[in-house]
């Protein structure tokens, strides 16, 4: 495995809990892995699964989704709907052959700066072990090929 591999992890976090938690980690000057790019959304209920697909298309090695603990959602129920969605969506990706460690879910409250820092460290370590997401990258590279002048004939089984 390449030793200088730095995982690129995209985190979709809700505005009210996890973003504030991550902010707290920052203001508390906690040191943690710098591999996560945070994208703030209003609520975990707002995270369409297409966000995750797009993250992988854009070269993410893993995706992290985090929001308020059950019962704490700013919109009361968003995270309950989200939880149902992820329960099935992660299984679909698993069935398609995406390793489970490329998808992480967590509840991090505004007070849990330390949990956020530990979470990012843990996810980064796991993805580092897994290596880059070459599967999706190959898909993208191949697509550029077919998009170029040399269109590859598709063979029927």
Partner 1 sequence: MIEQLRAKAKEILEKGDASVIIGYGRGSREDVATPVFITDSARIDEMVFNPHCYNNLMTFVTRDDHKRLGTPAVVAKECDMKAAIVLAQEDQVKEDGMLLLSVSCEEMGRADAACRFNGVMTIPQAEEWLKQNYLPAELTPEKLARVEEIEKMPAQERWAFWSKEFERCIRCYACRQACPMCYCRQCIVEKNQPQWLSTSAHPAGNMAWNIVRAFHLAGRCVDCGECERACPMDIPLVSLNRAIQKEVKSAFDYVSGYDHAGKPVMATFRKDDEEDFIK
Short-list 6, 31, 40, 25, CA closest to 115: 25
Stretch that binds partner 1, among 3-11, 17-25, 31-39, 84-92 (CB under 8 A): 84-92
Angle of helix 18-27 relative to helix 113-130, nearest 10 degrees, comes to 100
User: Does residue number 149 form part of the binding site for partner 1 (CB under 8 A)?
Assistant: no
Stretch that binds partner 1, among 9-17, 19-27, 28-36, 90-98 (CB under 8 A): 90-98
107 binds, among partner 1, ligand FES, none (CB under 5 to 8 A by kind): partner 1
CA 11/CA 14 separation, integer angstroms: 10
CA neighbours closer than 13 Å in the CB half-sphere of residue 122: 12
Query: Smaller CB distance to partner 1: residue 111 or 140?
Result: 140
Residue 117 CA from chain centroid, whole number: 15
Task: Name the residues that contact partner 1, by CB under 8 A.
Answer: 49-50, 53-54, 57, 70-71, 77, 80-81, 83-99, 104-107, 119, 122, 135-136, 138-140, 142-143, 146-147, 154-157
């Amino acid at each position: 495995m390449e030793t200088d591999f730095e995982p690129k992890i995209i985190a979709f976090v809700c505005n009210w809990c996890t973003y504030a938690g991550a902010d707290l980690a920052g203001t508390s000057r906690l040191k943690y892995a710098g591999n996560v790019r945070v994208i703030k959304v209003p609520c975990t209920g707002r995270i369409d699964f297409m966000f995750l697909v797009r993250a992988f298309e854009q070269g993410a090695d893993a995706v992290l989704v985090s929001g308020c603990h059950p019962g704490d959602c700013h919109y009361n129920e968003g995270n309950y709907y989200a939880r149902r969605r992820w329960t099935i969506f992660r299984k679909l990706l698993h069935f398609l052959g995406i390793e489970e460690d490329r998808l992480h879910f967590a509840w991090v409250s505004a007070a849990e700066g330390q949990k956020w820092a530990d979470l990012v460290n843990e996810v980064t370590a796991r993805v580092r072990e897994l290596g880059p997401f070459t599967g999706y990258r190959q898909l993208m590279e191949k697509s550029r090929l077919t998009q170029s002048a040399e269109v590859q004939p598709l063979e029927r089984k």
